[in-house]
Amino acid sequence: MSRAKRKMDHIEHSLSTGQERKHGFEDITFVHQSLPDSSVANVKLHTKIGELFLSSPIFINAMTGGGGEQTYRINKSLASVARKCGLVLAVGSQMSAIKDPDEAFTYRVVREENPNGIILANLGSEATVEQAKRAVDMVEANALQIHLNVIQELVMPEGDRDFTGALKQIEQITNTLSVPIIVKETGFGISKEAAEELKGIGVSSVDVGGFGGTNFSKIENARRSKKLQYFDSWGIPTTTSIVEVKEVMQQHGSVIASGGVQSPLDIAKSIALGASAVGMAGYLLKILLADGEEGLIEEITSIHEDLTMIMTALGVNTIDQLKQVPLIISGNTHHWLTERGMDTKKFSIKR
């Protein structure tokens, strides 16, 4: 099967399999504040990932490109929305355009549409330094996302079967490229151990890509006859993965939350658990394809307004202050973190 056809399959199956909603956000409850001493007018949504300044904590996570005209049109629309709403935009894996330069236009369009915005290039951990440089140049990227997707590759009939040497490849790219590197999962979460290995080679921004949203095991299983169903419920839920990775990064790196994020409350909870920004993919794609650019702009505007309301209720004016509000962790998230020896109590008091 051609890469271009696979790209369209992914979009179609991501919409039909939907989002899991098993991300653990229901296990997180804010401690209500009756005297917040705050005002909607004072709330600011800007944030930082490493050295990148973002006017909003939401970004449009990597999805597409490399599937001809259809993916060109989706990327053009996403870039237009990103420009109008002030969001970061990541393109989908650029390996298709590295292998077939005729596909480069499907990615370049995001820079043409959003000349001054923050754009993230994207490749898998199998990429060479040379390929990583070409991907960054292709979209004049401000940073490069390197995705980890072992489970997707295993379930993909034509996927990779050898994952040796990935850390070494990432290290070489991190040491050579002039733009910041963000390592991300694609819906199975990142553990404390993996985050420690990444930190050890100099990676300081990690997108947890947790379990509970778009499910690439289900998407790939829909494309094969002998199903590997045991991978459908495999992974570290998003809330758990944020805490696991934050334990490692502490103040020295940035955690990005993603995996099933859909609502302003999910975003607020992600930040309160320690994330500096939040990536959304499948949910935004679904809105774009159903309601067009205007529909997506309306949704993002509404999420920004509601996040402002939530921050006002919690008595905070900035994203950095939101990281310190008290919250209670219960249910499966509490169980998992306790079993893994992580202190859930520290979240229950103002930090």
Footprint of ligand FNR on 40-59 (CB under 6 A): none
Binding ligand FNR (rule: CB under 6 A), the pick from 261, 273, 278, 314 is: 261
- Three-state SS letters, the chain: CCHHHHHHHHHHHHHHHCECCCCCHHHEEECCCCCCCCCHHHCCCCEEECCEEECCCEEECCCCCCCHHHHHHHHHHHHHHHHHHCCEEECCCCHHHHHCHHHCHHHHHHHHHCCCCCEEEEEECCCCHHHHHHHHHHHCCCEEEEEECHHHHHHCCCCCCCCCCHHHHHHHHHHHCCCCEEEEECCCCCCHHHHHHHHHCCCCEEECCCECCECHHHHHHCCCCCCCHHHCCCCCEHHHHHHHHHHHHHHHCEEEEECCCCCHHHHHHHHHCCCCEEEECHHHHHHHHHHHHHHHHHHHHHHHHHHHHHHHHHCCCCHHHHCCCCEEECHHHHHHHHHCCCCCHHHHCCC
Footprint of ligand FNR on 274-293 (CB under 6 A): 280-283, 285
Query: Least distance from C-beta 263 to ligand FNR, angstroms?
Result: 12
Query: Least distance from C-beta 91 to ligand FNR, angstroms?
Result: 8
Query: Least distance from C-beta 324 to ligand FNR, angstroms?
Result: 25
Contact status: 235 vs ligand FNR (CB under 6 A): no
Binding mask 88-107 for ligand FNR (x = CB under 6 A): ----xx--------------
Footprint of ligand FNR on 100-139 (CB under 6 A): 122
Contact status: 260 vs ligand FNR (CB under 6 A): yes
Binding ligand FNR (rule: CB under 6 A), the pick from 259, 271, 300, 333 is: 259
Footprint of ligand FNR on 139-198 (CB under 6 A): 145, 147, 184, 186-187
Residue closer to ligand FNR (CB basis): 145 or 333: 145
Residues of this chain that bind ligand FNR (CB under 6 A)? 10-11, 14, 19, 61-64, 92-93, 122, 145, 147, 184, 186-187, 209, 213-214, 258-261, 280-283, 285
